[in-house]
């Protein structure tokens, strides 16, 4: 997938494992692998929401306030 393309499959975070810690794919060396599509969605989210906002987890409620309607 090229960097300018966006999939319509949606973004999902790693699911929590049995210990409550997120399960993340690791390579043989132990370094964490980052899926290119996941990185793209994270980058897009930060570009739209700002650097102080975190990417919500799957099935987490997200509230959207159009600019000017929160007052």
Q: Taking the model in full, what pTM does it have?
A: 0.29
Could you read off the pLDDT tens digit of each residue along the chain, which spans 71 residues?
444 444 445 555 554 455 555 544 444 555 667 788 888 887 887 788 777 777 778 888 888 777 765 55
Task: Say how many domains are in the chain.
Answer: 1
Instruction: Give residue 67's pLDDT.
Output: 74
Instruction: Give residue 19's pLDDT.
Output: 55
Instruction: Give residue 70's pLDDT.
Output: 57
Residues of the domain holding 55: 1-71
Rg (CA), the chain: 15
Question: Residue 11 class from Cβ within 10 Å (0-12 exposed, 13-18 middle, 19+ buried)?
Answer: middle
């Amino acid at each position: 997938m090229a960097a300018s393309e966006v999939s319509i499959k949606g973004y999902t975070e790693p699911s929590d494992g049995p210990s409550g810690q997120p399960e993340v794919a690791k390579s043989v060396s132990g370094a964490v692998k980052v899926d290119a599509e996941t990185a793209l969605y994270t980058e897009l989210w930060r570009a739209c929401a700002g650097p102080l906002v975190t990417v919500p987890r799957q099935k987490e409620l997200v509230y959207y306030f159009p600019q000017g309607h929160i007052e």
